[in-house]
């Protein structure tokens, strides 16, 4: 089997660490591995496959001889360095939002649109974490009957905002229990003109507000879903909420179809679709929850029931690990798809 030189950009972040874990778990065919990060992290050490790797500074020359680079260091770094990597013959899988809506750049969830990697020009975008689990759940249902409208409300964990946000949730929780003062620096986002308590609270804002009253996160879900599924006219609306959960995003999804789709048909289609695990037994109080889905790669679906307010509608509940399937695992699956298709 051919082996590849691989680089991880943003290796010290939550997604970067998950990338190293998933690469090892999936036995990705690695010849040589580079761990790249900012200058302040250079020369620190990370472990992979029982070996220690010294972090190198992410700069253009670091991509010489690299076959695949997984970027997870934010949009500014991607905009600066991804084109430099591509110039050097590297295939970039980018986890930021920098290129997702560029018409010529594939936006891929391998269970849904693997064909879109064909004809890539060296750069493939990994979708938003909430979008990934949504489209995996929607695809088998859309195959039963074309979707007419989708309403999605998200309950997103603080890990989506990074390590500092997770630490702040834990620190705030302990401070409240102890009756102490606490800081509010990370939610809705670092540097916001006003941040809010997230412990024992929910915040209906992810990212910045747009002119239409939606947040940037909500518009990502809408536009990315349309692009990935090849349904530019799909009517879809979204409300995103940050909740005091450390890991795992949940979504309440309402789907209106053009024709009849029974809960039984939906359940069977979901059970037979790759990457989905159905947990749906109300009698036994079984349904997906973030605590059960953490550190797993599948999309979990439950609470499958008819929407009795419309002629052809269903409600479903969708949960997935936002760091793994929502970022690291999907990125590596994209690279695996490229290899399987002989496109590298």
Question: What's residue 122's pLDDT?
Answer: 97
Question: What's residue 73's pLDDT?
Answer: 93
Q: By the 8 A CB rule, do 90 and 315 touch?
A: no
Parallel, antiparallel or unpaired: strands 313-320 and 299-306: antiparallel
Question: What's residue 319's pLDDT?
Answer: 98
Distance CA 257, CA 307 (A): 11
Q: What is the pLDDT confidence band of residue 308, given thresholds at 50, 70 and 90?
A: very high
| Residues 199 and 299 both lie in one domain | yes
| Residues 119 and 136 both lie in one domain | no
Q: Which domain holds residue 297?
A: 131-322
| Residues 63 and 152 both lie in one domain | no
Q: What is the pLDDT confidence band of residue 21, given thresholds at 50, 70 and 90?
A: very high
**Comparison of pLDDT for 49 and 239, the residue scoring more:** 239
Residue 17 has pLDDT above 90, yes or no: yes
Long-range contacts of 282-286 (CB under 8 A, 24+ apart): none
| Residues 27 and 158 both lie in one domain | no
| Residues 205 and 336 both lie in one domain | no
Of 3, 7, 21, the C-alpha closest to 327 is 21
Residue 112 has pLDDT above 90, yes or no: yes
**Comparison of pLDDT for 38 and 176, the residue scoring more:** 176
Residues 53-79: what's their mean pLDDT?
Answer: 95
Task: Note the pLDDT tens digit of each residue in 119-143.
Answer: 899 999 999 999 999 999 999 999 9
Which three-class secondary structure state does DSSP give residue 300?
Answer: strand
Domain count, the chain: 2
Question: What's residue 42's pLDDT?
Answer: 78
Task: Note the pLDDT tens digit of each residue in 180-194.
Answer: 999 999 999 999 999
Distance CA 24, CA 19 (A): 9
Active site residue 344: no
Average pLDDT across the chain, whole number:
96
| Residues 170 and 213 both lie in one domain | yes
Task: Note the pLDDT tens digit of each residue in 22-62.
Answer: 999 999 999 999 999 988 877 788 888 888 899 999 999 99
* pLDDT above 70 as % of the chain: 100
* pLDDT above 90 as % of the chain: 94
pTM attached to this predicted model: 0.96
Distance CA 225, CA 206 (A): 17
| Residues 161 and 184 both lie in one domain | yes
Question: What's residue 19's pLDDT?
Answer: 97
Q: What is the pLDDT confidence band of residue 344, given thresholds at 50, 70 and 90?
A: confident
DSSP string, 41-93: GTT-EEEETTEEEE-EE--GGGGTT-SEEEE-S-HHHHHHHHHHHHHTTPEEE
| Residues 32 and 92 both lie in one domain | yes
Active site residue 293: no
| Residues 137 and 281 both lie in one domain | yes
CATH of the domain at 36: 3.40.50.720
| Residues 58 and 205 both lie in one domain | no
- Residue tagged active-site, from 120, 142, 189, 249: 249
Token duo for residue 282: 């109300």
CATH of the domain at 267: 3.30.360.10
Residue 1 has pLDDT above 90, yes or no: no
97 contacts: CB under 8 Å, gap ≥ 6: 75, 128, 220
Distance CA 296, CA 96 (A): 21
What is the three-state SS of 265-294? HHHHHHHCCCCEEECCEHHHCECCCHHHHC
Least confident piece of the model among 39-43, 209-213, 279-283: 39-43
| Residues 217 and 317 both lie in one domain | yes
| Residues 184 and 111 both lie in one domain | no
- Residue tagged active-site, from 120, 129, 142, 293: 129
11 contacts: CB under 8 Å, gap ≥ 6: 17, 19, 20, 35, 36, 37, 41, 46, 55
Task: Note the pLDDT tens digit of each residue in 155-175.
Answer: 999 999 999 999 999 999 999
């Amino acid at each position: 089997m051919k082996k590849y030189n691989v680089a991880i950009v943003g290796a010290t972040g939550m997604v970067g660490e998950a990338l190293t874990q998933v690469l090892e778990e999936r036995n990705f065919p690695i010849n040589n591995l580079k761990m790249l990060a900012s200058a302040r992290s250079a020369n620190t050490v990370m472990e992979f496959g029982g070996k220690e790797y010294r972090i190198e500074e992410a700069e253009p020359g670091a991509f010489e001889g690299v076959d695949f680079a997984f970027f997870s260091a934010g949009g500014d770094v991607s905009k600066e360095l991804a084109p430099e990597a591509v110039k050097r013959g590297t295939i970039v899988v980018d986890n930021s939002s920098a290129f997702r809506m560029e018409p010529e750049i594939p936006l891929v969830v391998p269970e849904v649109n693997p064909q879109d990697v064909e004809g890539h020009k060296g750069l493939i975008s990994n979708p938003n974490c909430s979008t990934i689990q949504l489209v995996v759940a929607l695809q088998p249902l859309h195959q039963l009957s074309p979707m007419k409208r989708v309403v999605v409300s998200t309950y997103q964990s603080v890990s989506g905002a990074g390590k500092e946000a997770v630490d702040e949730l834990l620190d705030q929780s302990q401070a409240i229990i102890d009756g102490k003062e606490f800081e509010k620096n990370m939610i809705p986002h670092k540097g916001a003109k006003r941040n809010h308590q997230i412990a024992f609270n929910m915040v209906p804002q992810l990212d910045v507000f747009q002119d239409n009253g939606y947040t940037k996160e909500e518009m990502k879900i809408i536009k990315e879903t349309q692009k990935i599924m090849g349904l530019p006219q799909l009517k879809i609306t979204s409300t995103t909420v940050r909740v005091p959960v450390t890991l795992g995003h949940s979504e309440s999804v309402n789907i209106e179809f053009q024709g009849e789709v029974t809960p039984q048909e939906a359940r069977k289609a979901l059970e037979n679709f790759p990457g989905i695990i159905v947990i749906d037994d109300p009698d036994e109080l079984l349904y997906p929850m973030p605590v059960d889905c953490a550190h797993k790669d599948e999309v979990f679906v439950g609470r499958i029931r008819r929407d009795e307010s419309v002629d052809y509608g269903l409600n479903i509940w969708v949960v997935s690990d936002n760091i793994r399937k929502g970022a690291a695992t999907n990125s590596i699956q994209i690279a695996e798809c490229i290899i399987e298709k002989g496109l590298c």
